[in-house]
Amino acid sequence: MRIAELQPQTDWVLSIITEDGRVGLFDVSPYLEYEAFKPLRDHDEFIKVNNGGYFIEWECGADLSADTIEARWQVIGKTVSKTTA
In a domain, 85, yes or no: no
Pairwise CA distance, residues 83 & 43, whole Å: 38
In a domain, 60, yes or no: yes
Q: What is the pTM of this model?
A: 0.89
Of 8-12, 28-32, 56-60, 79-83, minimum mean pLDDT range: 79-83
| pLDDT at residue number 51 | 98
Residue numbers of the domain that contains 9 = 3-78
Runs of H (alpha helix) within 1-85: 43-46, 66-72
- What CATH number should be reported for the domain holding residue 60? 3.30.2020
| pLDDT at residue number 39 | 98
Pairwise CA distance, residues 1 & 67, whole Å: 7
In one-letter notation, the amino acid at residue 77 is G
- Number of domains observed in the structure of the chain: 1
Q: Are 56 and 8 in contact (CB under 8 A)?
A: no
For 6-48, how does the pLDDT look when each residue is reduced to its tens digit (9 = 90+)? 999 989 999 999 999 999 999 999 999 999 999 999 999 999 9
Residue 59 has pLDDT above 90, yes or no: yes
77: Cβ contacts below 8 Å, ≥ 6 apart = 22, 23
